[in-house]
Amino acid sequence: MAKNRELVIAVHGGAGFKKAKKGQLDCIEEVIRTGISILRDGGSGLDAVEKMIILMEDSGLFNAGSGSHLQMDGAARMDASIMEGKDLMAGAVASVSGIANPIACARLIMDKSLHIMLAGEGARRFGAHYNLRELRSIDKEGLKAVKRSLDSGGDQARLYKSVYGCETVGAVAIDLEGNIAAGSSTGGFSPMLPGRVGDSPIIGGGTYADNRGCAVSMTGLGEKIIRCSVAKEISTFSELGDSVSIAAGKAIMRLLKRIDGRAGAITLNRDGEYCLIHSTDFMVGGFIKGKKMAVADQFKRVL
Ligand code: ASP
């Protein structure tokens, strides 16, 4: 184990068109501190990513876990995925209700099942089998958001721009063994038909990790991100020699030019190079590298 390896974490709390809510930055800073102590104690990148996302799901401050947006029938159906870069192992849940931590369910699917993704009731039962905590209360604001966005009309991308703040969560980390990992978790996008699934549980869409490329967690309108397989594209560009910021910039610009998709990404490679980049007005995120202080901030558009 390379004990001197510089540990790095990047976390995001979503890209959007409205400023971050009060408390989100403090939460991210706290989450990063927890993540780095897991890595310093020899925990894996996967362990750190899972725990950090659990904390954000539980905070109720983001559109994930207990803060999830509701679908048109009033139910929260959540998406999450997690992946590691050494053997390309991955787990995902789509459209799952009733469990507090979809990311923990995704990790269990990766570790304990022969599958990559479980959806809906099957995912909930799988989580219950492993005694995952139930989700009891959900953000009632979500229902109001659905109503608001239904009233506003227009196409999906325009709607996303008009209602979206910084909300979906994700994390990337590199551990002492030099393995990278990525995860994403979301309550989706309003308005959503019951059963709608976004990019966050799609391996290669919203999440990807390959030690030969990089770890990526995406945020933005899933209906666009899926169509360009953005997370995988960023990793592939970086495997072919681009720095993680050039790779992410290229893929996000391609999404914008090709299908007018706006999104944000956090990326991290095995050399500890990381970036946060977005084509939305705002993105909230934070980093820690080595012994430096954790930094959480709201970032303004550069692309
Ligand atoms: N990517 C998420 C989804 O489409 C939403 C977001 O990142 O804001 O489900």
Mean pLDDT across 45-73: 95
Active-site residue among 168, 186, 219, 236? 168
The predicted pLDDT at position 153 comes to: 53
189 pocket-lining for ligand 1 (C-beta < 6 Å): yes
Question: What stretch of H or E contains 151?
Answer: helix 141-152
Q: What is the distance between the alpha carbons of residues 163 and 156, in angstroms, rounded to a whole number?
A: 11
Mean pLDDT across 93-121: 97
219 pocket-lining for ligand 1 (C-beta < 6 Å): yes
Query: Which stretch, 16-30, 119-133, 277-291, has highest mean pLDDT?
Result: 119-133
pLDDT at 303 over 80: no
The predicted pLDDT at position 128 comes to: 96
264 pocket-lining for ligand 1 (C-beta < 6 Å): no
Catalytic residue status for 168: yes
The predicted pLDDT at position 48 comes to: 98
Cα(187) to centroid(ligand 1), Å: 8
Cα(292) to centroid(ligand 1), Å: 30
Residue 134 carries which DSSP code?
A: B
187 pocket-lining for ligand 1 (C-beta < 6 Å): no
- Digit-coded pLDDT (tens) for 114-168: 999 999 999 999 999 999 999 875 545 555 555 555 555 556 666 666 666 669 9
Cα(170) to centroid(ligand 1), Å: 11
CB 45 within 8 A of CB 207: no
